[in-house]
Amino acid sequence: MPHRERHRTERIGWLRAAVLGANDGIVSTASLVVGVAAAHATGHDILVAGVAGLVAGAMSMAAGEYVSVSSQSDTERADIERERNELATDAVAELAELTAIYVKRGLDPSLAKQVAEQLTANGALAAHARDELGITDALSARPVHAALASAGTFAVGAAMPILVVVTVPGTYLIPVVAGTSLVFLALLGGLAASAGGAGATRGAVRVAFWGAIAMALTAGVGALFGAVV
């Protein structure tokens, strides 16, 4: 029975977008809430700012991810089309190029040529896309997936500090929002690091540290100007 191996590289596309979206949702919305609260705004104003930040941030993440990943996808398609044209016009040179790639990877020239010939016979374009361009199905750009993952996880992350605004009295709002957001960020960083095969503690500390810096700076701005920002 064939053994199906699953590697963490298959998660890179959606994992990057999801982690970025959730992290940005928590950090930006919590920082916004803390900054507005530090400016002595009313509870209603704080809630409106938080919800507006959620909607604007989610749309911005979706648009940004779609545009950036679409650019990557366009580049990949252009490179593949170029390879297709080169295979059609100069197949001998392309075979030599593929052979040279395998030689650089450690095969002796005769074996490298044999491998290149067999792969070319079974799908020349796929072989060049994978071994010359580094484009595979697992790592290829998927703009819609990235946009949806970023927007959805941003909204989930942003909802966490907003729920705190709704449930916690104004007197304790800043420390509770900051504290719970740091906990959420640490959990997110740990889970993301574990999913990617890295140490959970390092990931948790890294994400929480930058979240704390962002909230502290925003709170300082709100306290300094004493007005809704």
Domain boundaries, the chain: 12-224
> pLDDT tens across 150-206, in order?
888 899 999 999 999 989 877 888 889 888 888 888 888 777 777 666 677 877 788
SS3 sequence of the chain: CCCCCCCHHHHHHHHHHHHHHHHHHHHHHHHHHHHHHHCCCCHHHHHHHHHHHHHHHHHHHHHHHHHHHHHHHHHHHHHHHHHHHHHHHCHHHHHHHHHHHHHHCCCCHHHHHHHHHHHHHHHHHHHHHHHCCCCCCCCCCCHHHHHHHHHHHHHHHHHHHHHHHHHCCHHHHHHHHHHHHHHHHHHHHHHHHHHCCCCHHHHHHHHHHHHHHHHHHHHHHHHHHCCCC
Mean pLDDT by 10 residues, the chain (229 residues): 47 62 87 87 89 92 85 82 85 85 86 85 81 68 79 90 87 87 84 68 81 83 62
Is the separation of the CB atoms in 160 and 24 below 8 Å? no
* pLDDT score of 9: 47
* pLDDT score of 3: 44
* pLDDT score of 55: 93
* pLDDT score of 158: 92
* pLDDT score of 48: 92
* pLDDT score of 196: 61
